[in-house]
Structure 1
Amino acid sequence: MSEPTPLARGPVAVSPAVVRDGWEVDARIATGALTLSDESPLAKVHVRAPFDGAGRAALGVGFGRTARADLGTGEVLVVGSGPGEWLVLGAPNTAGALRASIEQRLAGTGEFTTVLDLTHGRALLRLQGAAAAAVLAGVCAIDFGDAVTPNGAALRTSLAGVVTDIVRDDRQGVPSYLLHVERSSGQYLADTLLDAGGPSGLEVTGFRGLA
């Protein structure tokens, strides 16, 4: 008798649950215009390299910005999350291949770099909808207007008292924000956003992925 395949679980409680790509994810499908989803199954690879060196050119994006790219494992989102820091998000179960691909890409730069798989140690939420900026503004002092934080912007700040990477990643013209935090803060942040977004009709929906 074969052993059952172990399931991976994100930090946010799901009910009802369904299995996708080996992960237990929320089975709900929201119908409203403002949604919150747990995107923790996405591969999360953290890169450190000199702020303005060859590694930056190899990754194709600078501090505070994002770009879609194919680094050898399919389309990924490359985020300039800090000075000399990048967060690369890819499809579920690709973290190992993505890490190896990035290491190979950076090997020829001659610079000291580190590439770490953070997939299971971090939480990733997506808040999406026309009212998403207003919800975030209720728990954060940042100006989320288009003039200050347009699509493709990335920043690190305190969101509801938690250090958070905030990435604006609009989908089909709809404002959408990826929120990357330590795994231990994932449930707290989800609960806080649901409370803040309740008056605006915020609903939980299932895992969406990068597409």
Structure 2
Amino acid sequence: MAETASTQRPAFESPPFESPIVRYYQTSAGGDLTLTDASAATKRLVRAGADGLTADRLGARFGTSQIAPGGALVLGSRPGEWIIVGAPGEVSAAVADLDGLEAQEFMTALDWSHSRAMFRVTGVDATRMLEKVCGIDWGDHMTPDGAVLSASVALTTCDLARNDVNGTPSYLIFCDRSFGQYLFDALIDAGDEFGLTVTA
């Protein structure tokens, strides 16, 4: 039985975003190294076949990233799994570009905006800071601009992506929202000796 105008369900709307981070600290604010709470960015997790139509459309293969035509950042986080990050319109455009593919292969797109904290670390000392809390080789030969990986950061399971800003090393770090405050504080502790500045 078709729903009439009076019985149609209202469109789902996400609740307003609230950052998992409470800022209650002072930082050195002396160098060019910055830590930003970027958790408010729109995030979608897409899953599909590693070598199917969705993979071809998104383009970023496992361990790499690229910018979608609409401006969103597409991260190949695992075989058959992508994280799409950006402004709401950018991410919506990237997901809309996948319309119709679900009829040809199994594909899901989940809203991760509220469930994942995301931080950006930028600066020439970013690699030295991350070396204190993560056992990955951050050299350009192993993790060049565009690299995507999963690793433990301060004993927290994270997805990471190198996404340089105007030629300066910059890293996006994703973790479960419930670990957001702990990880943010751990990153502050790791970066303090390099004159870390926390930005909005």
Q: Superposition pairs for residues 186-205 of structure 1, below 5 Å?
A: 186-205=180-199
Q: Note the alpha carbon deviations across 1:114-172, whole angstroms, 9 max, x for none.
A: 11001011100000000001111111110000010000000011111111001000000
Q: Which residue of 2 aligns with 1:76?
A: 72
TM-score (norm 1): 0.80
User: Which of 8, 11, 15 is 2:20 aligned to?
Assistant: 11
| Greater Rg over alpha carbons, structure | 2
Deviation at 1:95, TM superposition (A): 8.3
Superposition pairs of residues 118-137 of structure 1, within 5 angstroms: 118-137=112-131
Which consecutive residues of structure 2, in runs of 5 or more, have no partner in the other structure? 1-14
* Higher strand residue share: 1
Conserved in 1, the CA contact under 8 Å of 2:85 and 2:91?
no
Q: What SS is found at the alignment partner of 1:163?
A: strand
What is the SS of the residue equivalent to 1:97? helix
The residue correspondences of 1:25-40 to structure 2 (distance < 5 A) are 32-40=31-39
Question: Are 1:97 and 2:92 matched, yes or no?
Answer: yes
Q: Matched residues in 2 for 1:55 and 1:79: separation?
A: 13
3-state SS of the aligned residue for 1:151? coil
The aligned length equals: 184
Which amino acid is 1:79 matched to? L
Secondary structure of residue in 2 paired with 1:193:
helix
Alignment correspondent of 2:4? none
Q: Name the residue aligned to 1:3.
A: none
- 8 Å Cα contact 2:30-2:195 kept in structure 1: no
Equivalent in 131, 140, 143 of residue 137 of structure 2: 143
How far apart in 2 are the matches of 1:163 and 1:177?
Answer: 15
Shift of 1:102: 4.7
The alignment partner of 1:171 has SS state of coil
Helix, strand or coil: the match of 1:165? strand
Check if 1:163 corresponds to 2:172.
no
CA distance in 1, matches of 2:86, 2:105: 24
Q: Which runs of 5+ in 1 are unaligned?
A: 1-5, 17-27, 207-211
